[in-house]
Structure 1
Amino acid sequence: MKRGKTTFLKLSVVIIGCIFLSLCIFWLPWLARNTVEMNPEYGYLKYPVLIGVYTTVIPLFIALYHALKLLNHIENKNAFSELAVESLKYLKYCAIAIIILYVIGLTLLGFQNVLHPSIAIIGGIIIFAALAIALFAAVLQELLINALEIKSENDLTV
């Protein structure tokens, strides 16, 4: 049953990755083109915003890769290992990178007086979600480190 759960989670991570990849390839350029057609005064922001969004996708895909690695460790009964701690560390760093990139992007848009409230709300939701993931990964990482210390002490006493 455990293998079925990790397989489902792996499939979910792959589907999330495919959705984000297809959005980046097809939907974002279409959205940028339509936005510039409707608001030509913001045409100069088309490529900087697209580059900013594409830059934030890089840590997302790195995080998805490390989530798959973590699920492989769990599936191979290697969940309590330094490799799992390393995967959680990369998940935390990727979430922090996404937070930093979105804060910088929203700040730059705010300084140029082009930060629409809906864009600010979407950016805030992304920042909040990434913050929750970073905190959750940090807590899990600390718990796993403590469990590894207890396990090593237990192995020495036996």
Structure 2
Amino acid sequence: MERGSTTFLKIAIFLIGAPVLAICVLLLPKIAMEAFEHAQDGAQLAYVVFTILFILYASAVPFYIALFQAFKLLNYIDKNEAFSQMSVDALTKIKTCGKIIFGLYIVALPFVYLVAEWDDAPGLIVINLVIVGASLLVAVFAAVLQRLLQQAINIKSENDLTV
């Protein structure tokens, strides 16, 4: 495989990770401070916002783990080790991270619904559902690729033994 195509994908991984990092570092602390001020006033909704913020930060961890595993997978492709157990392991971790993100955002859905009802912003629910769908899609796609890669490795090892 050409090195240019994996370089493009590596750059894409960084471009995907940068906005999420910016949101986690710049936007979410500002929202947390506003929610903290409202929580001191006794607003019950502030605790719902804290729960959502906790889930957002918690979902950033498997997100970056999955991005790192995708980066490792591209490095394996560059080294012509795409058909190895290391690639299968990377896809397994990506699948697991997708499942974790899916679960976290499913748990967040009722809290997002409460905030959307209070703020009259149904777009929040749509955003949450898009993230749920995307993480499920990544998990399923990684599972399919993992199974195909494992079968290819098994066929390759059988062919190596017959020769």
Task: Tell me, yes or no, if structure 1 residue 122 matches structure 2 residue 127.
Answer: yes
Long gaps (5+) in structure 1: none
Report how far residue 18 of structure 1 moved: 1.7
Q: Distance in 1 between matches of 2:92 and 2:60?
A: 18
Q: Output one character per residue of 1:77-119: Cα deviation in whole Å (capped at 9) or x when no partner.
A: 0000000000000000000000000101113455xx4444222
The 1-side partners of 2:110 and 2:35 are apart by: 20
- Structure 1 segment 3-152 matched on structure 2, within 5 A: 3-31=3-31, 41=43, 42-110=45-113, 113-116=114-117, 117-152=122-157
2:83 counterpart SS class = coil
**Structure 2 stretches lacking a partner, 5+ long:** none
Cα RMSD, aligned residues only? 2.2
Task: Report SS of the residue matched to 1:79.
Answer: coil
Identity of aligned residues (%): 42
Contact 1:98/1:127 (<8 A) preserved: yes
Alpha-carbon distance, 1:46 to partner: 3.3
Question: What residue in structure 1 maps to residue 159 of structure 2?
Answer: 154
Stretch deviating more after TM superposition (10-19 or 63-72): 10-19
TM-score for the superposition, normalised by structure 2: 0.85
- For residues 44 and 123 of structure 1, the distance between their equivalents in structure 2, rounded to whole angstroms, comes to 19
Q: Kindly provide the amino acid, as one letter, of the partner of residue 134 in structure 1.
A: A
